[in-house]
Amino acid sequence: MEGRPGDSLLIVISFLVAVMVYNIPLPHMIEYGRPEWISLVLLYWAVALPNRIGLAAAWTIGLVLDVLSGAILGRNALAMLLLAFLAKRLYQRLRMFPALQQALIVFLVIGLQLLLLHWIDSFQAVVSPPYLYLIPSLTSALFWPLVYFVLHAARLRFR
């Protein structure tokens, strides 16, 4: 699946939409369950176009996310790098799996990403309620089929 010239614009637009959804304020109780939209979009593009979206793009997206969230530089960049690395290692298998099995892999990969973020936060003495940091991996897995089908349909539409 080689990328087409129109894919670059679609990739940028999808990341911009993911960043806008990421910045939508939510009530405190729902905030813990916010899906990792940017991670889901990165995961989709790393699986769909592994030759165009790689580690450098993941690092750049992570740095942009660090600036937007006010985190120390490199925190989200390292987590996005881990996500892209795992996606590049698993992309051929992920393409073969049905949506439910893909959602399970997404749950595990984003769970590892969030575990890394929690570990980095522990060095800064940032305290979060136990195991609540893993809830976004569950909600991200639940939203994975929607993200996959929307981005796939948009990619087919704008060829």
Share of the chain above pLDDT 70, in %: 96
The predicted model gives 60-67 an average pLDDT of 94
pLDDT of residue 1: 47
Q: What is the largest CA-CA distance in the chain?
A: 48
pLDDT of residue 133: 82
Judge contact between 106 and 40, C-beta under 8 A. Answer: yes
The full 3-state SS of 95-141, as one line of letters, equals HHCCHHHHHHHHHHHHHHHHHHHHHHHHHCCCCCCCCHHHHHHHHHH
- CB neighbour list of residue 11: distance below 8 Å, 6 or more residues apart: 45, 49, 52, 53
pLDDT tens readout for residues 115-145: 999 888 888 877 777 778 889 999 999 999 9
State the average pLDDT for the chain.
Answer: 89
pLDDT at residue 80 above 80?
A: yes
pLDDT of residue 29: 81
pLDDT tens readout for residues 1-43: 455 666 789 999 999 999 999 989 989 888 889 999 999 999 9
pLDDT of residue 4: 66
Closest by CA to 135, choosing from 35, 39, 50, 44, is 35
Residue owning tokens 């749950």: 107
Judge contact between 58 and 42, C-beta under 8 A. Answer: yes
pLDDT of residue 41: 97
pLDDT of residue 3: 55
pLDDT at residue 158 above 90?
A: no
Closest by CA to 30, choosing from 135, 137, 145, is 135
pLDDT of residue 12: 93
pLDDT of residue 132: 83
Buried b / exposed e across 85-114, counting CB within 10 Å, b at 16+?
ebbbebbeebeeeeeeebbebbbebbbebb
